[in-house]
Amino acid sequence: MSTQGPSRAEWAQVDRTSDPAWFIRLLDATRSRMLRAATADPAHYFAHLELAPGIAVLQVGAGTGDFDRLMADLVRPGGHLVGIDYSQAMVDEATARSAGLGLPIEFQQADAHDLPFDDANFDRCLATQVFQHLARPERALAEMVRVARRGGLVVITEPDWDSRILAVGDLALGRALTRAWADKIPNPGIARELPAMFAAAGLTNVRLDATPYLLSGNSPEMALDLVAQPLLDLREAGVIDAGRCEEVLARVRDRIAAGTWLDAALMLRVTGEKS
């Protein structure tokens, strides 16, 4: 069971953790399936963004920039993409991965609560799995709206962690595990609040799309770790003992090996237009 690595609550302070590269490895492990789908057909994967040559895109929380590079290719010639991240380690990684590709793309360190851009500067403003970690999500949304151009789209995608389900063979324990996981995240239910937040921020034509988010589709090691972490929290809280931990982990390992493991949540994408 994993006992190493920073806490999930530390996404807002990646550079101050003991191992910033752990978060880079986590992104690579948890987004590999989605990245393969995006790489196979970028135009289809990003169709909801209505990207075209000449479009200016802002990605808030760019991470390693893998999806940004695919979008940057779709907006040339004439367009460009700017990716910001609060972590300098992420910015450095994204910049290194993009070097020499000739794409209209750049990355910089910045705070989502105080974007370093002029008003009405981008046609698309995006954030994926970022708002769940923010101290002031309403402020960050207001900033995205501010830098969006008239007629531009603001798109935020978040999982609803209270919708997570685990097939651990014990319904009560599964619920306890998903709660232990969600309680470590600053805004675990932000996804369900986004439509109302968009309307309050003055965005129009607000629409919602929902898709399954299969955490069990990650690599075997990561799929196990995503259960091991809340199990450790419950053990340390005295809810379960070490023997029960090992019993559950053995069951999860067996189900991962057999291809019958299920770990999923609801992923919500909210889109609004600046009128």
Task: Give the position of tokens 């999806």.
Answer: 67
Residue 18 in any domain: the answer is: yes
With H, G, I as helix, E, B as strand and everything else as coil, classify residue 189: coil
What is the distance between the alpha carbons of residues 83 and 95, in angstroms, rounded to a whole number? 10
Largest distance between two CA atoms of the chain: 60
195 within some domain: yes
pLDDT tens per residue across span 156-191: 999 999 999 999 999 999 999 999 999 999 999 999
What is d(CA 55, CA 72) in angstroms, rounded to the nearest whole number?
9
- Tell me if 247 is assigned to some domain: no
State both tokens at 222: 């990561």
Neighbours of 16 (CB within 10 A): 10
Q: Which residues pair with 274 in a beta bridge?
A: 203
What percent of the chain shows pLDDT beyond 70? 95
Cα–Cα distance for residue pair 96/87, rounded to 1 Å: 14
Where helices occur in the chain by DSSP H, the ranges are 20-30, 32-40, 42-45, 66-74, 88-98, 137-147, 171-182, 190-200, 220-236, 242-258
Domain count, the chain: 1
Inside any domain, residue 199:
yes
pLDDT digits (tens, 9 = 90+) for 198-237: 999 999 999 999 999 999 988 898 899 999 999 999 999 9
94: number of Cβ within 10 Å: 27
CATH number of the domain residue 194 falls in: 3.40.50.150
In a domain, 256, yes or no: no
Stretch 96-123: mean pLDDT: 97
Per-residue pLDDT tens over the stretch 14-53: 767 777 777 888 787 778 888 889 999 999 999 999 999 9
In a domain, 223, yes or no: no
Model confidence at 4, pLDDT cuts 50, 70, 90, reads very low
Residues spanned by the domain of 149? 8-163+185-214+264-274
Question: Does 251 map to a domain?
Answer: no
The answer to whether 199 touches 138, Cβ cutoff 8 Å, is: no
Residue 72 domain-assigned? Answer: yes
Cα-trace Rg, the chain: 19
Q: What is the pTM of this model?
A: 0.91
